[in-house]
A = this chain, B = another copy of it.
Amino acid sequence: MLDTVGMQQFFEPRSVAIIGASTKPGKVGHDILRNMLTSGFGGEVHPINPHAEEILGRKCHPRVTEVEGDVDLAVIVVPSAAVLSVMRDCGEKGIGAAIVISAGFKEAGAEGLERERELGKLARKLGIRVVGPNCLGVMSTSTGLNATFAAGMPKRGNVSLMSQSGALATAIIDWSIQQGVGYSKFVSFGNGVDVGVVDLLRAWEDDEETKVIVAYIEGLSNGPEFMAAARRVSEKKPIIVVKSGGTEAGARAVSSHTGSLAGSEHAYNAAFMQSGVIRAHSMEELFDLAVAFAYQATPRGRSVGIVTNAGGPGIMATDAVERDGLRLASLDQETIRALREQLPEAANFYNPIDVLGDADADRYTYAAGHLLKDPNVDGVIAVVTPQAMTHPDETAEGVARVASQSQKPVLACFMGGSAMEEALEVLNEQHVPVYLYPERAVHSLARMAEYQEWLEEPPDEYIRVVPYTQGVQSVFKAARAEGRVNLGEIEAREVLKAYGLRIPESYLAQSAEEAAQHAEKIGFPVVMKIISPDILHKSDIGGVRIGIRDRQEAVDAYDLMMLRVQRYAPDAFLRGVFVQELIQTGREVIVGSTRDPQFGPLVMFGLGGIYVEVLRDVSFRIAPLGKRHARRMIDETRSAALLRGARGEKPSDIDAIVDTLLVVSQLVTDFPEILEMDINPLKVGEAGEGAVAVDARITISEEEPVVGG
């Protein structure tokens, strides 16, 4: 909560000092002061400049320490070399919050990076919250605070925006002013030495003036903290994020399938999905969604009513409905009756309702109103083209009126140019989101429906097994003692066993006779494998035999393996021969995990063999993982249809896969030293038969992780 208190000074300061205020118009230090003085800010504003008496009619102080009375917020615009000393002044003055506009920090090479580190250290020491450096600044429309050097300020509204890029923030402001979109708070946090995404999420979580949070980010520094905050905030208001920057080439070599398939894009997508964050894939989508969520309620379901005054755009909207996973509402008889009563005979009374090109505002509004009242309709798309009898502005008034009387969302699409200008203004003023193209209106409604579904989900079930932790620890310890980080299959299976996963019955034999006895105990057929840390490709020297059918074959196999090892790898250290139950039936899937630098352990699922290796048909979630997301991971793969029993086959035991995903999620969460792991294959039986981890590999870190670090 201290965080939030600290953050408030950025938006509601009583007194602001502009340190580095300039007398010269066009200079950043002048523009900020001017913005602070002309945006309706009610508090005190103190320009600080040792070389001026006054600027823009305000008395100037040489240092912030010399201002009389308290200062809540410092806006720092001095050259980067002077920022630290100015910060010390702020500390002396007891200022709790600073916006460092100045550039010349980590974006500017090694020296700048060092300066930024010092700035961070100093801020923590002095207890000053810092926005920036290298940023555009902060706005709050409700207090009239405009501590930026942008050329204007959007009108008051209920969208709050954070941006990692100052330039993009400038573009957004410019545009929002033109489009008449209102904002509540606006923070360009630049390099983010202190205040970042998580602080702002927390600050806006309970902010009554913020209905929608939008963010442009290029990266996150603390994934788990972000997810925790985002998940909580998303339940109160939508968070819409544009995350730019593609998959970077992995920094460390990967040794597992999971490792080679995972990328930071997968991690970000999973993190957003798991925390209810709505990812927009362009600034255009960000704006479309921001306005939709800011202006309208979310739909209670996916059934859409379309009203149009032209066939073509109606078809386009219908196409979009199908593409975006919405559905055309099947209208209630009462609605159809009401439409028939007032609409001309040639109109279309079924969804999409076509009120015809000669419809006036009354006819259009009548149809839109009845659609909204239909119990089968969750939201309405209102499409208008500029036809002969169309009065777009009156139609807009009508649409806005029925929209305001309904709890259901109405999104409009008024297609045209100058003929539509007035209508757009009317709709925007009355908070009906309006788009130029039907596809964008429909897509926005679809994303709203998705968010609503997320809101309605019950909490996910997080199930934990009681593991034999010591067993795992001793496996890791033993491997490290031998200088190994790649666990062999015996060791890996030991770990899985400690977490209660079913593994094939198996024993190590050190003589042919012992092998035969083990095989008899397990029951034929069995698998036999040479076990040696020095022999990587067992099959190449005949070190794997599958389907040994009787005692004699077991004895022969053992002897042959010994012979071959002597011949081809005489120096290899040999642990013995592994005799293992042969899991003959079941479908092969892979469950794996890798560690993402931002988000930590990432769990992967895919069907075995070609589905993973060739088709790359896999899905990811961030651990820890609940039951619902485990099930969705499976459903998200195209090949999941095979598990559900395609082509007349019996369905596989999907519950057993879910359980395995949850166990792996727990394992990699419990042991951060597991860098990568694959269970490949996990053989899954028919429904109710369970699953067996036939083979596995685990890579651990060289060092034991510091607990609580």
Contact = CB atoms under 8 A, between A and B. Distances in A.
Interface stretch (A46-54, A174-182, A463-471, A529-537): A174-182
A29 to B, nearest CB: 11
In the complex this chain forms, how many copies of it are found?
2
A164 interface: yes
B149 A388 contact: yes
B309 A167 contact: yes
A65 to B, nearest CB: 29
A242 B440 CA distance: 16
Contact of A171 (B164, B242, B415): B415
Nearest to A414: B171
A324 to B, nearest CB: 12
Given A165-B310, A168-B310, A610-B647, A174 B316 contact: no
A385 B171 contact: yes
Interface stretch (A203-211, A425-433, A634-642, A659-667): A634-642
Interface string A608-651: 01100111000000000000000000000011011000110000
- Give the most central of A170, A242, A318, A322: most B CB within 10 Å: A170
Interface in A212-241: 216, 218
Interface stretch (A366-374, A416-424, A698-706): A416-424
B245 A315 contact: yes
Contact of A419 (B151, B319, B416): B151
A429 to B, nearest CB: 17
A168 B282 contact: no
Contacts of A62: none
B174 A419 contact: yes
Given A218-B312, A614-B641, A615-B638, A171 B386 contact: yes
A151 B312 contact: no
B417 A175 contact: yes
Contact of A216 (B245, B312, B385): B312
Contacts of A218: 312, 315
A176 B613 contact: no
A168 B312 contact: yes
Contact of A170 (B316, B416, B610): B416
A312 B615 contact: no
A284 B437 contact: yes
A614 B312 contact: no
B318 A167 contact: no
Interface in A237-272: 242, 244-246
A456 B345 CA distance: 53
B174 A417 contact: yes
A318 B247 CA distance: 11
19 contacts: A28-B388, A31-B388, A164-B312, A165-B311, A166-B357, A167-B357, A168-B385, A170-B416, A171-B385, A174-B386, A174-B418, A175-B416, A179-B417, A218-B312, A218-B315, A284-B436, A614-B642, A614-B646, A615-B641
